[in-house]
Amino acid sequence: MNRVLDLAILGLLMDRDHHGYEIRAQLRDRLGLWSNVSFGSIYPALARLEREGFVEAVAAEVKLASLSTGSLSGERATLRALRPAPALGRKGRKVYRITDRGREQFALLISDPATLDDSKSFSLRMALARYLTPSLRVGLLEQRRANLAQRLFEMRQQAKTDDLDGYARSVMEHGAKAVELEISWVDDLLASERNNQQPLAREAN
């Protein structure tokens, strides 16, 4: 049921085809999901998305022995490609492509305002914001801002409660500052959204 990883993977596949290993790197380098997502999440998620018809495997890219093919290596490559069961071969990357149903699902997931609670999923949406219409973007930003303002208030309250020692209080105060920083980020995004003199999105495909 975790839509976050589904959204992230589909978002990457909107851009171009990818295989699992690459998806992990892109999650880190382009979508801001550091603390590397484990392979134990990636591969099951891809299998799930395929099962649901949102992505399809577009033939394992079996690396042929470059140009000078000795008969032996050629034969081995053929053997590997023909082998019946073991899931398109040991090795040989399995490249995935998003389907039409996958695109629909992506549009659904990215514009769903229900799951906007945590920083991680919000950042992910922003990293994919070029796929949203301007009005949806503003809507999500405003809702996130409201959430953060509420949270800031709560954290301020907590930081004031008396039975905290200095360290615990310091943690709460830092937490509040982090929320403030995110609020000012959202405000910047909203500002550049409203007077979109310098649009943040390049052409979305």
Partner DNA sequence: GCACGATATATCGATCTGATATAATGAATC
Partner DNA sequence: GATTCATTATATCAGATCGATATATCGTGC
* Chain position carrying tokens 């022995």: 65
CA Rg, the chain, in Å? 22
117 belongs to the binding site for a copy of itself (CB under 8 A)? yes
The four Cα atoms 156, 161, 166, 167 give a dihedral, to 10 degrees, of -60
Site for DNA in 143-182 (CB under 7 A): none
By CB under 8 A, residue 189 contacts a copy of itself? yes
Give me the phi and psi of 195, to 5 degrees please: -100, 75
When binding is defined by CB under 7 A, the residue of 16, 58, 59, 63 that contacts DNA is 63
Q: Is 39 in the site for DNA (CB under 7 A)?
A: yes
Q: Contacting a copy of itself (CB under 8 A), which of 170, 187, 191, 194?
A: 170
CB of 164 to a copy of itself, least distance (A): 6
Give which of DNA, a copy of itself, none residue 1 binds (C-beta under 5 to 8 Å, depending on kind). DNA
165 binds, among a copy of itself, DNA, none (CB under 5 to 8 A by kind): a copy of itself
- Of the residues 104, 168, 191, 194, which one makes contact with a copy of itself according to CB under 8 A: 168
Q: Decide whether 46 or 179 has the Cβ nearer to a copy of itself.
A: 179
Identity of the residue, 35 or 68, whose beta carbon is nearer to a copy of itself in the bound complex: 35
Rounded Cα distance, 91 and 75, in Å: 16
Tokens representing 99 are 């389907």
Per the CB < 8 A criterion, the answer to whether 158 and 172 are in contact is: yes
Task: Enumerate binding residues for DNA (CB under 7 A).
Answer: 1-2, 4-5, 19-22, 35, 37-41, 43-45, 48, 63, 66, 87-88, 90-91, 93-95
Task: Enumerate binding residues for a copy of itself (CB under 8 A).
Answer: 29-32, 34-35, 117-118, 123, 126-130, 151, 158, 161, 163-168, 170-172, 174-175, 177-178, 181-182, 185, 188-189, 198-202, 204
